[in-house]
Amino acid sequence: MLYIEIYMYIKATIPPLDRQSPVPLHRQIEHWVREQIATGFLAPGNMLPSVKTLCEQFGGVNHLTVRQALKSLATEGIVKPVQGRGVFVAESKTRLRRVAFIVPLLNSEMTLKIAQGIQGVFQTANIRSVIMDSCWDFQKELDNISQLEDLPLDGAIIWPVTYGDIAERIFKLKIDGFPLVLVDCEFKEIEIPSVVVDNYKGSYDLTQHLVARGRRRVAWLGDPRPSSTQARLNGFRDALNDHGLVCNRALIKDLKLPAPAAPDQPVIFKLVRQLVAHKPRPDAIVFQSDYIAMIGMTELKRLGVKIPQDIAVAGFDDLQETARTDPPLTTVAQPMERIGAEAARLLIQRMEHKNLSPKSVVLPVQLVVRDSS
């Protein structure tokens, strides 16, 4: 394609920059260049217009802004500057792809291990990952998801915040053809590739273990809203029913916080006190997660309850700290690094073959029996 043809096309179709947008001007220019390459208009080997031409066509933007955009693209291997000649679209095999990993909270053991699994796969595939921390803030998560298509990204892995409905934002990304994989979450109404663990079987096996230890009044405490927790609660109920035990609704406590970042210890303490005060008192409590279980154990001890003599306790996740609690916590181990690795592999498939049918991966879990049961 002749340079003059490219120039005339750019002159006719280049969009005005949105100077009110929170997205920096150089990022907007990057995004436009990426679109031209993605659509095939700018093919490998084509020369981009000069910096001066781009400055003019983008409405008189400063040449430093254009140079910053081209430098970022060159760093990723998307374009290749040739001294004395200009900037050319690089061969596809040399391009460095970028993806985002949106997490509910960066500073957590599960997040770090899942991120390690992701990074291990991406490093061998020449893919750079960017972590976007939602900090347990639903609105921040919405903002992160909304920015995905405006940033220089080729795809994203999303591990949603527990609360709130992001289905509409996810559906828009799907319609736009943006490569996407979900972690620890599934939407029945939207077919999106996802990686989850067998939450149902893990909870079923855990409850069955407690019953085998002679526990007959087994309680549950957790937030029923996430799809993963719904599966755990179903496994809990079915295990009791299959062993001829009544699933007493009064012994199922819903942990519904007004917001993800709301203080949870007082609410967990209150629900534990309600269970201890119930007549007859439960002889076991299954907590939604290890984090909640460890908080619950603190309140049980404060109330003078002996674990497991009076009440057995179990969690889910197998965090490192659970082996050091007093007593060590019975739990269900999730393959955290493998979750990340599988999500990374799924996303690579979606980026390379966008017409693939959505695929979900369900990973096995393992019962870990310790002294708390």
pLDDT score of 56 = 83
User: For 37-56, how does the pLDDT look when each residue is reduced to its tens digit (9 = 90+)?
Assistant: 766 677 788 888 888 888 88
Bridge partners for 252 per DSSP? 220
pLDDT score of 340 = 95
pLDDT score of 280 = 94
In a domain, 370, yes or no: no
Q: Are residues 238 and 284 in the same domain?
A: yes
Q: How many helices (H) and strands (E) does the chain have?
A: 12, 14
Query: Do 160 and 105 meet the contact criterion of CB atoms below 8 Å apart?
Result: no
pLDDT score of 1 = 42
User: For 203-228, how does the pLDDT look when each residue is reduced to its tens digit (9 = 90+)?
Assistant: 999 999 999 999 999 999 999 888 89
pLDDT score of 203 = 98
Question: Of the candidates 52, 74, 93, which is a domain's last residue?
Answer: 93
pLDDT score of 190 = 83
Residue numbers of the domain that contains 274: 199-333
Q: Tell whether the torsion through CA atoms of 289, 295, 296 and 301 is positive or negative.
A: positive
- The rounded distance, in Å, linking the Cα atoms of 270 and 268 is 5
Q: Are residues 245 and 329 in the same domain?
A: yes
The CATH number assigned to the domain holding 273 equals: 3.40.50.2300
Number of domains comprising the chain: 3
Residue 226 vs residues 163, 183, 185, 229, 293: alpha-carbon distances, Å:
7, 12, 7, 5, 17
What percent of the chain is helix, strand and coil (3-state, nearest 5)? 45, 15, 40
CA 8 and chain centroid, separation:
42
In a domain, 371, yes or no: no
Q: Are residues 271 and 153 in the same domain?
A: no
Q: What angle do CA 177, 9, 53 make, to 5 degrees?
A: 110
Give per-10-residue mean pLDDT for the chain (373 aa).
48 68 82 75 82 85 90 84 88 74 92 93 85 89 88 91 78 89 86 94 98 97 90 97 93 83 84 96 97 96 97 97 97 96 93 80 96 97
